[in-house]
Structure 1
């Protein structure tokens, strides 16, 4: 049934030589504009749910919020697609927010493009955690089971925050970055420790996703999809275990295999 995350639209379905009018459930998409300390900061295109978590998680992954004491006030105007966030201290100037520059990755001489804010707060992840092949398979099965919107629309990505034994949080969104940010936002609000946690993910592990994970300090990311070469390079240097193509009995372990009990 439709809810605020989905809508039913009239479509024509084609199956071979047969066509028929048959309404279909389609995932909803909406803009959310973040105003930071009274100034328009950024607009995210997202699924219209868990908007508090999305906005706060986005600011966490950008290094603007690090501790709950950094947050002064949040006011969501859902009908207008606006969220007002006030921080306890001044933050990075907006003019620098999306500026690109070239830097040497992790001091090892590799030149890579980053947003200027990506260079802030990124450090080697040293979380002491391990996971077995069986536990990886169980977490991927849980990810698939919880992805209810994807099951009915095929239009979302899912992300779960886990221990090796269980999934603690799960969110879906039309954007894979958004799904991860919603995890971060809820973890921020609940003041969860993340150094011993795992992210299980449905989407491609790009360099942007990897950097988000590094900033938060999570040591393992498991995905049903592929990583990019730059994500693997960064993960190698920052101490993050990347597991991709985790489907059924198959998976690829790309980096820091010492955390996987084989």
Structure 2
């Protein structure tokens, strides 16, 4: 067990029998973000990699562009506060009412489109990978999904190249997992030119926009996309690949980044 989980006593019913057992459950943790002394947002998240989460969230919302924009960051994990001081004052447009961002990933569209308008960008990367590499990467990604296998209650995101998986982050909120990855990229000064994002959840418009902000042109998910996400993927030059499972996958947009065939069947790539 780790900071991401708690043990609870349960009664398990299975095959007509019941037993008293201990079960490992995903932790849900509210983190209130203070920026330049003002309360900015409260995020409900998994209580690890909080520094990366703060950096990624601020970058995703257009408050910062690089890690160097942050003068100081301190996190009080006991009280659930992150104190961030920037080198610049917040713009008037950034000073909104306090926002509560739940783990269910729901947001007001008027809120997140406001910041997306200035931070989403067309991806210029021309990185291409083989279809077999996509399947291998998803298999490696699944093997590293320890927290999901323990609890079944988190989303996971990974950063990879065609060579292999480089890192993964997990969180109860899919947007949090992506922000943790974004913060990691900023803090480690990682070039995203040849990178691939691997994701466990649905490809929604919010997910697609966060990928565009990182400047990554290839997104693999084991789940389905939404129509708005695919429209954005077309516009922002992102290859969206869904249902990457077993020996199959669906390439929805910008197919030129995926090459090679899995089999000789007509439904192969």
User: Given that residues 159 and 171 in structure 1 are in contact (C-alpha distance below 8 angstroms), is that contact kept between their aligned partners in structure 2?
Assistant: yes
User: What is the rounded CA distance, in whole Å, between the counterparts of 1:191 and 1:176 in structure 2?
Assistant: 23
User: What is the rounded CA distance, in whole Å, between the counterparts of 2:223 and 2:68 in structure 1?
Assistant: 36
Match of 1:105 in 2: none
1:121 CA drift (Å): 2.2
Match of 1:162 in 2: 160
Superposed CA deviations along residues 180-201 of structure 1, whole A, max 9, x for unmatched, are: 1111111110111113211000
Unmatched runs of 5 consecutive residues or more in structure 1 = 102-112
- Please give the root-mean-square deviation of Cα atoms over the aligned residues, in Å: 1.6
1:200 aligns with 2:198: yes
User: What is the rounded CA distance, in whole Å, between the counterparts of 2:7 and 2:31 in structure 1?
Assistant: 22
User: Given that residues 199 and 222 in structure 2 are in contact (C-alpha distance below 8 angstroms), is that contact kept between their aligned partners in structure 1?
Assistant: yes
**Paired residue for 2:226, among 225, 228, 235?**
228
Counterparts of residues 88-167 of structure 1 (less than 5 Å): 88-92=87-91, 93-95=94-96, 101=110, 115-167=113-165
Q: SS of the counterpart of 1:23? A: strand
1:69 CA drift (Å): 2.0
User: Given that residues 32 and 82 in structure 1 are in contact (C-alpha distance below 8 angstroms), is that contact kept between their aligned partners in structure 2?
Assistant: yes
1:16 CA drift (Å): 3.3
User: Given that residues 57 and 184 in structure 1 are in contact (C-alpha distance below 8 angstroms), is that contact kept between their aligned partners in structure 2?
Assistant: yes
Match of 1:85 in 2: 84
How many residue pairs end up in the alignment?
Answer: 250
Match of 2:184 in 1: 186
Provide closer, same or farther for how the CA distance between residues 96 and 218 of structure 1 changes in structure 2, counting only shifts above 3 A.
farther
Deviates more, 1:165-174 or 1:200-209: 165-174
Provide closer, same or farther for how the CA distance between residues 137 and 19 of structure 1 changes in structure 2, counting only shifts above 3 A.
same
Match of 1:67 in 2: 66
TM-score by length of 1: 0.91
User: What is the rounded CA distance, in whole Å, between the counterparts of 1:96 and 1:28 in structure 2?
Assistant: 27
